[in-house]
Chains A and B, each alone.
Chain A
Amino acid sequence: MKRLVSGVLTLGIIALLGAFTFNFNSKELNTTANTQDELNLGFPDDVKKILKTSCFDCHTSASKNIKSKGALNFNKWDDYKTTKKIGKLNDLCELVQDGDMPTSKYLKNYPDKKLNEEQVKIICDWTKKEISSLME
């Protein structure tokens, strides 16, 4: 009987420890997800706001979608070479203008993240300006 009680107690302690570790881990995950809030890009605020709402879910290091963050990862923006930046900016405007981004699959789950004409204009005006300054 005594043995049974101590066995249950030990199990209880292990479970408690496990719960703590799990809690700790999930907190850590959360902080990684939060890095996108503090992502320090030299982009104007209105642009950053749009990107944060409609693009960062898939295009930052915290994303689980390897393909999308491989194509463009804003956490790595500063490491990109000038030619790559120009290429990505050029594609960015084209993709949002054609309505190819955000993808329809994503918008099915998050319809409110669809970009309106005004937002597309803000993005494209900015990419064009940014490209010409990079070309100098």
Chain B
Amino acid sequence: MKKTIRLVFYFLVLGFIILQFFQPDKNLGDINLRDDLFQVATIDDSVKTLLENSCYDCHSNHTKYPWYSYISPVSLFLNNHIVEGKAELNFSDWGTYSKIDKISHLDDICDAVSEGEMPPGSYLILHKDASLSEKNIKKICDWAETEGTRLLKDEE
């Protein structure tokens, strides 16, 4: 019996070690390239900081990885989140979005942070500083509305 337990334990350790060789590609592109929101939109520094702290890990081409994110299966789980987040909205590609999509995203951004859907709870467990206060939510919404209205009136 003791032998079996030991065998299972070795097996699990081996599995864990092998799993480390399977790492997803890291999301470590440059930010502040031509099409990034920060380059294209009218946005002040305080809102930039909020978005960078609370949104950019999953909604841009550059994630700030914590140390544990280099360990499988955490890395695989995180990668999944990032791929999904970027598919929905990628601030690094902001400049490539149509005006309609920009206005639409801006409206959704305010809705998502106001309803507490974003940042998601699973992200906040390990990123407590990404949590948005009422004041900061209002800041994001005010900016989103101003930027949306600016785009609407902007003649291109």
Given contacts A83-B145, A131-B100, A135-B99, contact A91 B152 (CB under 8 A): no
Interface membership of chain A positions 51-75, coded 1 if the CB is closer than 8 angstroms to chain B and 0 otherwise: 0000000000000000100110000
Interface-lining segment among B11-19, B37-45, B101-109:
B101-109
> Is B80 interfacial (CB 8 A cutoff)?
no
**B149 lies within 8 A of chain A by Cβ:** yes
- We find that the number of chain A residues with CB closer than 8 angstroms to chain B is 14
Q: Which one of B101, B105, B107, B152 contacts A88 once the chains associate, using CB atoms below 8 Å?
A: B107
Q: Are A86 and B104 in contact (CB under 8 A)?
A: yes
Q: Closest Cβ of chain B: how far from A5's Cβ, in Å?
A: 59
Which residues from chain A contact B99 at a C-beta distance below 8 Å? 135
Chain B interface helix/strand/loop/mixed: helix
Whether A83 touches B106, Cβ cut-off 8 Å, given contacts A70-B115, A135-B152, is: yes
How far is it, in angstroms, between the C-alpha of A131 and the C-alpha of B103 when the chains are bound? 11
Q: Min CB distance, A94 to chain B, in Å? A: 9
Check: B30 CB closer than 8 A to any chain A CB.
no
Known: A91-B108, A135-B152. A83 touches B115 (CB 8 A): no
- A82 part of interface (Cβ distance < 8 Å): yes
CB-based A-B contact count at 8 angstroms: 38
A86 vs B105: C-alpha distance in the bound complex, in angstroms? 10
B84 part of interface (Cβ distance < 8 Å): no
Q: Does B142 contact A (CB under 8 A)?
A: no
In the docked arrangement, what's the CA distance between A126 and B99, Å?
A: 18
Cβ-defined contact, B115 with A91, below 8 A: no
A74–B100 Cα distance when bound, in Å, is 21
Minimum CB–CB distance from A75 to chain B (whole Å) comes to 17
Residues of A within 8 A of B (CB): 67, 70-71, 81-84, 86-88, 90-91, 131, 135
> Can you name 18 extra interface pairs (CB under 8 A) apart from A83-B148, A86-B100?
A70-B115, A71-B111, A82-B152, A83-B107, A83-B149, A83-B152, A84-B107, A86-B104, A86-B152, A87-B103, A87-B107, A87-B148, A88-B107, A90-B103, A91-B104, A135-B99, A135-B100, A135-B152
Interface residues of B (CB under 8 A from A): 99-101, 103-108, 111, 115, 145, 148-149, 152
| For the complex of A and B, 3 pairs with smallest distance between CB atoms | A87-B107, A90-B104, A83-B148
What are 11 contact pairs spanning A and B, CB under 8 A? A71-B111, A71-B115, A83-B106, A83-B107, A86-B100, A86-B152, A87-B103, A87-B105, A87-B106, A91-B104, A135-B152
